[in-house]
Structure 1
Amino acid sequence: MKHLLECLDATARRWPERPAFGDEAGTLTWAEVALAVQRVGTALARQGVQRRPVALYLDHRVPCLLTMLGTLAAGGFYTVLDTAQPPERVRRITDQLAPVLLVTDEEHRAAAEALGLDCPLLLWESACTEEPDPYLLQRLRQDALDVDLAYVLFTSGSTGAPKGVAVQHRAVLAYSAWAAETFGIDETTVFGNQTPFYFSMSVTDLYTALRTGAQLQVLPKRLFSFPVQLLDYLTTHGVNTLYWVPSALGGVVRWKALDYTALPPLRTILFAGETMPTPYLNYWRAHYPAALFANLFGPTETTDICAYYIVDRPFADDEPLPIGRACDNCGLLVLTEDNRPAAPGQVGELCVRGSFLAAGYYNMPEKTAQRFCPNPLQPHYPETIYRTGDLVCYGEDGLLRYMGRTDNQIKHMGYRIELGEIETAAYGQEGLQSCACLYDVPRDRLVLFFTAGRDLTDALRARLADRLPGYMQPALYRRLKAMPQNQNGKIDRAALRAQLKED
Structure 2
Amino acid sequence: MAINVLEFLEESVARNGAKTACADEKEAYSYDELADRARRAGSALIEVTGVRRPVPVFMDKGCKALAVFMGAVYAGCFYVMLDPSQPPARLDTIIKTLEPDVMIVDEKSRAKVEKLDFNGKVLLADELMDHIIDEDELGKVREQALDIDPLYSIFTSGSTGVPKGVIVSHRSVIDFIGYFTKIFNITEDDVIGNQAPFDFDVSVKDIYSALYTGATLQIIPKKFFSFPTKLLDYLEDRKVTTLVWAVSALCIVTTLNGFEYKRPSCINKVIFSGEVMPIKHLNAWREQYPDAMFVNVYGPTEITCNCTYYIVDREFGLDEKLPMGKAFPNEKVFLLDDDDRLVDVTMPGRLGEICVSGTALSLGYYRNKEKTDSAFVQNPLNDRYIEMIYRTGDLGYYNDNGEMCFSSRKDFQIKHMGHRIELGEIEAAMGAVDNVVRTCCIFDKDDNKIIGFYEGDTDKKTIVHELSAKLPKFMIPSVFSQVASMPITKNGKIDRNKLMEDYKSEC
Band of TM-score, shorter chain: 0.7 to 0.9
* Matching residue's letter, 1:58: M
SS of equivalent to 1:48 = coil
* Cross-structure match for 1:150: 151
Q: Find out whether 1:382 has 2:394 as its counterpart.
A: no
1:370 is matched with which residue: 374, 380, 397?
Answer: 374
Q: Which residue of 2 aligns with 1:339?
A: 340
Q: AA paired with 2:477?
A: A
For residues 383 and 57 of structure 2, what CA distance do their matches in structure 1 show?
A: 42
CA distance in structure 2 between the aligned counterparts of 1:220 and 1:438, rounded to whole angstroms? 26
* Pairing 1:289-308 to 2, within 5 Å after superposition: 289-308=290-309
Opposite residue 293 of structure 1, the aligned amino acid is F
Per-residue deviation, residues 360-379 of structure 1 (Å, max 9, x unmatched) = 10000011000001111110
User: In 2, are the aligned partners of 1:152 and 1:165 still within 8 Å (CA)?
Assistant: yes
Match of 1:171 in 2: 172
**Paired position in structure 1 for 2:436:** none
TM-score by length of 1: 0.84
Match of 2:136 in 1: 135
* 1:17 alignment partner in structure 2: 18
Q: Is the 8 A contact 2:451 2:480 kept in 1?
A: no
What amino acid maps onto 1:321 in structure 2?
Answer: L
The amino acid that maps onto 1:15 is N
Q: Structure 2 counterpart of 1:272, which letter?
A: S
After TM superposition, give the deviation of residue 48 of structure 1 in Å. Answer: 2.6
CA offset digits 1:46-75 (Å, max 9, x no partner): 113311111110111111111111100000
**Structure 2 stretches lacking a partner, 5+ long:** 415-441, 456-467, 484-502
Deviations 1:332-361 (A, max 9, x none): 121011111013221100010000000110
Determine the C-alpha separation between the residues in 2 that align with 1:440 and 1:60. 31
The separation in 2 between residues aligned to 1:487 and 1:320, in whole angstroms, is 32
What's the counterpart of residue 428 of structure 2?
Answer: none
Measure the CA separation in 2 of the matches of 1:208 and 1:268: 13
Any conservation in 2 of the 1:171–1:356 contact (CA below 8 Å)? yes
Cα-Cα RMSD: 2.3
Asked if 1:257 corresponds to 2:275, the answer is no
User: How far is the alpha carbon of 1:488 from its aligned partner?
Assistant: 9.3
Asked if 1:396 is matched to 2:412, the reply is no
One-letter amino acid of the counterpart of residue 209, structure 2: T
Structure 1 residues 24-43: aligned runs within 5 Å:
24-43=25-44
Paired residue for 2:111? 110
- What is the aligned partner in structure 1 of residue 490 from structure 2? none
Q: Deviations over 1:123-148 (max 9, x none)?
A: 11210111111221111111100111
The answer to whether the Cα contact below 8 Å between 1:232 and 1:264 also exists between their aligned partners in 2 is no
Match of 1:350 in 2: 354
2:8 — aligned with what? 7
Shift of 1:316: 1.2
Give the Cα–Cα distance (whole angstroms) in 2 for the partners of residues 27 and 389 of structure 1.
40
**8 Å CA contact 2:394, 2:410 repeated in 1:** yes
Cα offset, 1:120, TM superposition:
1.1
User: Residue 185 of structure 1: CA displacement?
Assistant: 0.8
Please report how far the alpha carbon of residue 380 of structure 1 lies from its aligned counterpart in structure 2 after TM superposition.
0.6
How far, CA to CA, are the matches of 1:368 and 1:105 in structure 2? 33
- Which residue among 440, 448, 459 is the counterpart of 1:436? 448
Match of 1:499 among 476, 480, 492: 480
SS at structure 1 position matched to 2:477: helix
Q: Indicate how the Cα distance of structure 1 residues 173 and 501 shifts in structure 2: closer, same or farther if over 3 A, else same.
A: farther
User: Secondary structure, in 3 states, of the residue corresponding to 1:499?
Assistant: strand
Higher relative contact order (CA 8 A, sep 6+): 2
How many residues in Structure 1 have an aligned counterpart in Structure 2? 440
Unaligned 5+ residue runs, structure 1? 411-417, 424-434, 444-483
Evaluate the alpha carbon distance shift between residue 31 and residue 359 of structure 1 in structure 2; reply closer, same or farther with a 3 A threshold: same
**Percent identical:** 39
Q: How far apart, in 2, do the equivalents of 1:101 and 1:306 lie?
A: 34
Tell me the SS of whatever aligns to 1:75: coil
